[in-house]
Amino acid sequence: MPALPIPALGFTIQERAAKQSTAARTATAAVITSMLELGTPKVKVADRLGLALRDIKKSPIA
């Protein structure tokens, strides 16, 4: 089934979802990086954000 554009907005639902997902990933990555830079252990970051430990990557600065 082809993606139907939302007439009033000029983009498809899939495009809108992709933009929202990208924004959410970017914001989450910023929070994770900030917490790690402040010295918060990876286990605590994962626990507080409700993520799996494997999803917490090392800070690029560390």
Q: Which two tokens stand for residue 1?
A: 């089934």
Q: Is residue 25 within 8 Å of 1, Cβ to Cβ? A: no
What per-residue confidence (pLDDT) applies to 62? 40
What average pLDDT does the structure give for the chain? Answer: 84
Q: Sorting pLDDT into bands at 50, 70 and 90, what band is 31?
A: very high
* Residue 51 scores a pLDDT above 50: yes
User: If residue 5 lies in a helix (H) or strand (E), which one and from where to where?
Assistant: strand 5-6
Q: Is residue 2 within 8 Å of 13, Cβ to Cβ? A: no
Q: What percent of the chain has pLDDT over 70?
A: 76
Mean pLDDT, residues 21-50 taken together: 94
